[in-house]
Structure 1
Amino acid sequence: MDGSLESQQAANIKRARQACANCRRKKTKCSGERPSCFPCRRNQSRCVYEPYSATLGDSNSNPPPPTAATTDNAALLERISTIESRLAALSEQSHQASSVSPPQYNQIDRRSSSQDAEPAIRAFGSFAGLQTDHFSLPPRPVLRSVIDTYFIHVHNQPYSYFQEASFRQRLESNLLPRCLVLAVLASAVKFSTHEYYAGKTREATEKYARESWMSVLTEYMAVEENMNVHVVQTVNLLAIVDYTAGRVSAGWLKIGLAARISQDLHLMKDPDGWLSYMEQEERRRTFWSAYLVDKLISCGQNRPLCILDEDCMLQLPSDEETFRSGDWKKTETLGQLLSWNTQVVEKPSAFALAILMASIFGRCTRYVHHRRADEIPPWDTKSEFSAITSSLLLLESYSSFEGRSISEVMRNQEQDPQEIGHLVFAHALFHLCHCLLNHPFLVRLGLKPFGAKTPTSFPSRALRASCDHAKQLLDLVQDARESGCLVESSFYAYCIAVAGGIQSLALSLVGDAAASIIDGRNQEFMQYIQQSIDWLERLGLLWPHAANMIVRLREFHAQSYRFVGLLSPTSLKDDLDPATEAVLWSMIDYATLGADLRKRPMPSDPGMPHVPSPTSWDLDVVPTSFDTATNLFTSHTSPVRLNEVDFFLNSSPGQNCLL
């Protein structure tokens, strides 16, 4: 027994990574990457891995005498070799056919595609029972249809990983790893209208995402030094799928993993010059997309960033026309764009502007969610508040909007249609930063250390700024949609929920800070609150976390009258009640706002009254009187009232969390 164990261990030690046929023939060192190794990519050669039986003879050691077991193994290996040879021949024929007559993806015959997919559609009924040990891709016509959907609804919204023509060519040649193809399917199938997924888009998304993740674990994480840029792209896509499905922790961990892998591959530096311009730009865009995801989902407490601005030494993405043509263009780095002293010869690309605003947004969220006791008041020019506000003006100096509406820019055809989505997203982040910096709750926290020294005009100006930018944010997405833009990014749900929460909160405030802003505008505030609900319902058809935000915004609006004294000068020195503070944090913490509703605790007080369904609350009903005895901003609040508020904000009927 010991001898056989030792011999098996020795065999495992001697077994080397299999080299591809080209590297073995040229006697060069093979990196072993699949589907294409490094030398083959560099030489633009077709990379083929022969069956293991064809490489067993490379060992210099003398073979052991044949036995019955080895004879059976040899026969089995010979059969496997025959099968793989036939598959390789079929793959070669497909490759030759595609090189002679490349498929026209935008002109696929939908009628023939539906006919070809009919057997698979009938088989889709057993989709739920499919085992994870072998998960097949959809039929070719269906796959092409979903890829079409991906490049319409997901690509540049706002993340960008692939050059479309190159991606399609590699897909047809079977040169893309299976985990990446599955991740792309998981990202796009929710937008698909193909009959193959009729009534099963949510189920298909989960299946594709789960199988893609298992493929990453088994084919890459379990193998040393087998990472490549495709793994970063895959994990990034899966992180968004998890986070938007309400699985906040899973998404958070995946984006951290993608960030570490990208750093291990040195993607934060400009790529090697021997790579093609297309590959260089894809690597840059993959890193900047990981950077973008990291900045967006870190908008919450206890969510530190993985990628720091000072570690990003590569240039920003080029414009879409340059990327599509496969050319190269010199662009600025993020540090250069963030500096007012940089002399920019050409305006940054729309994607670069989105990254610039994400950087400022990351700085804003660190200030909002991870602030310590401020020694410098926000109205001081040396404060972080003033520095962030100043940085936001960079968008005005770089943007091509120049104060015009999106509809006007699109009407004049001044911008590449693929870039409009990035421009809209950049301006949405601009307004969101102002909403957070001037949020009534966060302003109160920032003013508390200074007490009576607070200028009376500062809370009023901050409230006006937050309301105005919340209104402009909602007008922006509405104008974009009416102009034909796709406003479908998952992060828009958070932007809209924050804007709607500010409108609801401002409607309930009383006192000197709110008097000049709220008077006579009740109907306008109600209109924008309803618009926020409508937008979240639209996005909730695509993104589960948006559906969760609908319930939370309705609950918050139903209880917003309890925050009437939030900016009252007499209450600024008082501590907020812990339950009230948790409620207010929940409306600006991205993880809490979109988390799965079914995981919220139920009230512990058995005497609590029945709470109506959030969908039955009438948004047009504005409280006209307030119970002054229930002041939630001091420690003298009634325990019964605290339980009531906690129940309203931390529970909801189970049927309302499902689409």
Structure 2
Amino acid sequence: MDDNATRGSCLDAAMTVRLAKGPEQPDINSEREDSVAFAGLLPLPIILETLDIYFTWCHNQPYSFFHEESFRTKLSQGKIPDHLLFAILASAVRFSKNPFFDDIFETALFYSNKSWQSIVSSCFSANKVADLMTVQTVTLLAILDYTAGRGRHGSAWVKIGLAVRIAQDLRLMLESATHLPYSEQEERRRTFWSVYLLDRLAFLSRSFDTAWEHSKRMANLFREVRQAGAIAQASFYGYCTVVAGTIAALYLDDPSEAKRMEAATYFQMHLNYLDDIGCYWKNVSSMSDALRKFSEDASRFSSLSSDSRLLEPLGLEDCETLWTMVDYSSMSDGSRVVQSQASDSDLWMYTNANWQDIFGVIDAPSSTTQPGYNSTLRAANYAQPADAFFTDQFE
């Protein structure tokens, strides 16, 4: 008996039924689950050969989902769900030279669709708890959709987002499964980083704004909102503005004078907005102070906004400073004390207050003021500096 037969001796013998050419005709008398069942679609030698192809041509290229020995053991024990087997075959069949497959691309699409039908019917529709193999299947299907051409990119993005959320729900990003065998722990790690890599790759596009453009657009957006008389006073907007303001601060020491002037204009717009809503939310007031302090020594981080491909690594305390500027919890938690940059030990962003002190009590608006609007900061505070700058530079 050859190796393939030995490895697969415990598989269902019904798999020896040959896959008919073209899409399978469903049995109208069968249940839905039967229409997406794996057993009966392929001869056993073809299955094992295609699995070998997967681990030769697809595994670790660069996505790594499985510990091969453990996978083959689970397969022989019937513990690999149909949806994952379909996804693996769909991934590997394009590399097969076996004449059994007439059209490898149509066959890949056929198995991919079968996999999705299977996971929807057996997991999502049945409200079953998702597991690691659910993430592996959905991610494999996302890769197949994304590489199938623009017509399937929309489906790929949905599946990538689904895989990311399930991975987060399973806490794959944490070292929290120390009770599991090492091979299973490593499989969890590699699956998470494969999902992360795919998510970053799929959304890497020149059509997205740079961080600098996004910072400017946010300042202009809040200016336009206030000019229109709308209310935008949520504390979360303060957090968004701090992040955008931090980006603007990185350009305050740009080699280009025009860029420095533009950065200063938008930085002030961000500060104005923070000061405005800071009278309603004390945590936003702290954010404003933090942003001002950051700007005083922003030159230390100017390399982050440079065009150089080689960036000098930041020290631990500098990294902590940057993390603080994007960590909403740090900026909103009154029990935390955040230290300044490595050059000094002054406390530049802290509160020694309880929850009510942090968030304060919203002052009742006066009868002459629109609710939610701070009369001390008019739309002109947002409109004039930027308009004046653009007039000087581009007219």
Residues 539-572 of structure 1 deviation map (CA, whole Å, 9 limit, x = unaligned) = xxxxxxxxxxxxxxxxxxxxxxxxxxxxxxxxxx
Q: What's the counterpart of residue 282 of structure 1?
A: 187
**Distance verdict in 2 for CA 1:296–1:219, change over 3 Å:** same
Equivalent runs, 1:378-397 vs 2, <5 Å:
382=302, 384-386=304-306, 389-391=309-311
Change (3 A) 1:263 1:179: same
| Structure 2 equivalent of residue 222 of structure 1 | 125
Match of 1:124 among 4, 17, 20: 20
Q: Return the match for 2:113 from 200, 204, 210.
A: 210
Contact map agreement 2:142 2:157 (CA 8 A) in 1: yes
**Partner Cα separation in structure 2 for residue 369 and residue 291 of structure 1:** 25
> Which whole-Å CA distance do the structure 2 matches of 1:262 and 1:202 have between them?
29
Structure-2 separation of matches of 1:296 and 1:127: 32
Structure 2 matches for 1:418-497, cutoff 5 A?
none
Using the TM superposition, give the Cα deviation of residue 168 of structure 1 relative to its aligned residue in structure 2, in angstroms.
Answer: 1.5
Q: Which residue number corresponds to residue 183 of structure 1?
A: 87
Conserved 8 A contact 1:301-1:369 = no
Partner in structure 1 of residue 73 of structure 2:
169
Q: Residue 124 of structure 1 contacts residue 196 of structure 1 at CA under 8 Å; is this kept in 2?
A: no
1:522-561 mapped onto 2 (5 Å cutoff):
none
Aligned twin of 1:248: 153
Q: Aligned ranges for residues 99-178 of structure 1 at < 5 Å?
A: 104-105=3-4, 120=18, 124-127=20-23, 129=25, 133-135=35-37, 136-178=40-82
- Within 5 A, what are the aligned runs for 1:6-155? 104-105=3-4, 120=18, 124-127=20-23, 129=25, 133-135=35-37, 136-155=40-59
Distance apart, 1:378 and its partner CA: 7.6
- Displacement of 1:371 in angstroms is 6.5
* Change over 3 Å in CA distance of 1:144–1:388 after alignment to 2: farther
- Looking at structure 2, the residues matched to 202 and 451 of structure 1 have their Cα atoms a distance apart, in angstroms, of 56
Q: How far off is 1:391 after superposition?
A: 4.8
Looking at structure 1, the residues matched to 189 and 141 of structure 2 have their Cα atoms a distance apart, in angstroms, of: 19
Are the structure 2 counterparts of residues 118 and 224 from structure 1 closer, same or farther at C-alpha, using a change threshold of 3 Å?
closer
Deviation of the 1:172 alpha carbon: 2.0
Cα distance change on mapping 1:138 and 1:271 into 2, 3 Å: farther
Cα gap change, 1:148 to 1:386, in 2 (>3 Å): same
8 A Cα contact 2:16 2:43, kept in partner: no
Matched, 1:258 2:154: no
Aligned CA RMSD, in angstroms, stands at 3.8
Task: Flag the 1:264–1:378 CA change in 2: closer, same or farther, 3 A.
Answer: farther
TM-superposed CA distance for 1:104, in Å, is 3.0
- Structure 2 CA distance for aligned equivalents of residues 378 and 138 of structure 1: 65
Q: Is the 8 A contact 1:235 1:257 kept in 2?
A: yes
Contact in 2 for aligned 1:367/1:384 (Cα 8 Å): no
Q: What letter corresponds to residue 389 of structure 1 in structure 2? A: R
What code does the residue aligned with 2:3 have? Q
Listed as ranges, the gaps of 5+ residues in structure 1 are: 1-100, 109-116, 304-364, 395-448, 454-572, 575-659
Aligned equivalents of 2:304 and 2:5: distance in 1? 49
Distance 1:235 1:119, change over 3 A: closer
Q: CA offsets, 1:53-106, max 9 Å, x none? A: xxxxxxxxxxxxxxxxxxxxxxxxxxxxxxxxxxxxxxxxxxxxxxxx9x7359
Instruction: Quote how far apart the aligned CAs of 1:271 are.
Output: 3.4
Q: Is the 8 A contact 2:17 2:41 kept in 1?
A: no
Distance 1:378 1:284, change over 3 A: farther
1:292 aligned onto 2:197: yes
Over 3 Å counting, the alpha-carbon distance change for 1:451 and 1:162 in structure 2 is farther
Q: Please give the per-residue CA displacement for 1:226-265, whole angstroms capped at 9, x wherever unaligned.
A: 2100000000000011111121110001010000011111
Compared CA separation, residues 173 and 107, structure 1 to 2 (3 A): closer
Deviation for aligned residue 1:144: 0.8
How many correspondences in the alignment? Answer: 228
Deviations 1:249-304 (A, max 9, x none): 1000101000001111111111322210011100111111111111100113687x
Contact 2:93 2:104 (8 Å CA) reproduced: yes
Q: Do the aligned partners of residues 368 and 170 (structure 1) sit closer, same or farther apart at CA in structure 2, a change above 3 Å counting?
A: farther
* Residue deviations 1:454-491 (CA, integer Å, cap 9, x gap): xxxxxxxxxxxxxxxxxxxxxxxxxxxxxxxxxxxxxx
Equivalent in the alignment of 1:233: 136
Q: Is this contact kept in 1: 2:5–2:45, CA < 8 A?
A: no
Relative distance call for 1:118 and 1:210 in structure 2 (3 A) is: closer
Q: Distance in 2 between matches of 1:368 and 1:143?
A: 51
CA contact (8 A) 1:197 1:204 kept: yes
* Other-structure match for 2:236: none
Percent of residue pairs bearing the same amino acid type:
36
Question: Measured at CA, do residues 280 and 106 of structure 1 come closer, stay the same or move farther in structure 2, by a change above 3 Å?
Answer: farther
CA deviation after TM superposition for structure 1 residue 202, in Å:
1.0
Note the residue ranges of structure 2 that are not aligned, 5 or more in a row. Answer: 8-14, 218-246, 257-298, 315-388
Question: Shift of residue 389 of structure 1?
Answer: 3.3
Q: Using CA pairs under 8 Å that are at least 6 residues apart, name the structure with larger relative contact order, 1 or 2.
A: 2
**Contact 1:378–1:386 under 8 Å retained in 2:** no
Contact 1:300 1:369 in 2 (8 A): no
Q: CA deviation at 1:366?
A: 5.6
Q: Please say if residues 149 and 191 of structure 1, whose CA atoms lie closer than 8 Å, have aligned partners that are also in contact.
A: yes
8 Å contact 2:89–2:111 — kept in the other structure? yes
CA separation in 1, counterparts of 2:212 and 2:84? 36
Deviation for aligned residue 1:223:
2.9
Distance 1:174 1:106, change over 3 A: closer
Using the alignment, how far apart are the partners of 2:73 and 2:391 within structure 1? Answer: 64
Going from structure 1 to structure 2, the CA distance change for 1:387 and 1:196 (only over 3 Å counts) comes to same
Partner of 2:175: 270
- How far residue 392 of structure 1 moved from its aligned partner, in angstroms, is 8.9
**Residue pair 1:106, 1:148 contacting (<8 A) in 2 also:** no
TM-score of the superposition, structure 1-length normalised?
Answer: 0.31
Alignment check: 8 A CA contact 2:36 2:118 kept: no
Q: Distance in 1 between matches of 2:79 and 2:99?
A: 27
**How far apart, CA to CA, are the structure 1 residues paired with 2:255 and 2:120?**
47
- 1:233–1:286 contact (8 Å) kept in structure 2: yes
| SS at 1:254 equivalent | helix
Q: Do the aligned partners of 1:150 and 1:187 also contact (CA within 8 Å) in 2?
A: yes
Q: CA deviation at 1:384?
A: 3.5
CA distance in 2, matches of 1:390, 1:230: 39
Please give the alpha-carbon distance, in whole angstroms, between the structure 2 residues aligned to 1:451 and 1:169. 70
Q: 1:378 to 1:237 in 2, by over 3 A?
A: farther
Q: Distance in 2 between matches of 1:296 and 1:165?
A: 29
- Separation in 2, partners of 1:297, 1:130: 34
